Structure 1
Amino acid sequence: MKIIEVKLKKVLKDKNLTQEQLSEMTGIRRATISEISTNSKTAMNRIHLARIAEVLEIDDIRELVDFKNE
């Protein structure tokens, strides 16, 4: 079965940013950023993903989200 993997942890590392910094940049609660980063959220807010992509200057959503075998 395929699951959706959010690659936020890797993206933040590649961009040398912390979850706290991303929270400040996006206005998204730090706890929510943490849940997204650790893939512990089962439902994703599309507005949050779009805001994260916007502030991180991600044009291809595949840089942030991918399919993974469970």
Structure 2
Amino acid sequence: MGKSIVVNISELTAKHKISMRELSRISRVRHAALSELANGKRESINFSHIVRIAEALDIQDIREIIDLVDTTEKEL
């Protein structure tokens, strides 16, 4: 069993009733970068993006943005 990091962009936009495009505008993070984070397509996370998202949505706890989850290895 392993761990992976999940970025909760979709949940945040739904909770705050804004589009990803609006989050991009208010956080000054490119829409493409937000989309890649939301879809698990990024291999690394830019900490400045996390800070900008937190500031834009007035988030005090980073765990609202990112989460560490258990993953199961796929069987071959």
Query: Aligning the two structures, in what range does the TM-score lie when normalised by the shorter sequence?
Result: over 0.9
User: Does 1:38 find its partner at 2:48?
Assistant: no
Supply the distance in 2 between the matched residues of 1:36 and 1:4 (Cα, whole angstroms): 10
TM-score (norm 1): 0.92
In the TM superposition, structure 1's runs of 4+ consecutive aligned residues that sit over 4 Å from their partners are none
Q: Which residue of 1 aligns with 2:10?
A: 9
Letter in 1 for 2:51: A
RMSD between aligned residues: 0.9
**Other structure's SS at 2:23 match:** helix
The structure that has the greater radius of gyration is 2
Supply the distance in 2 between the matched residues of 1:59 and 1:5 (Cα, whole angstroms): 18
Supply the distance in 2 between the matched residues of 1:15 and 1:2 (Cα, whole angstroms): 27
Identity %: 31
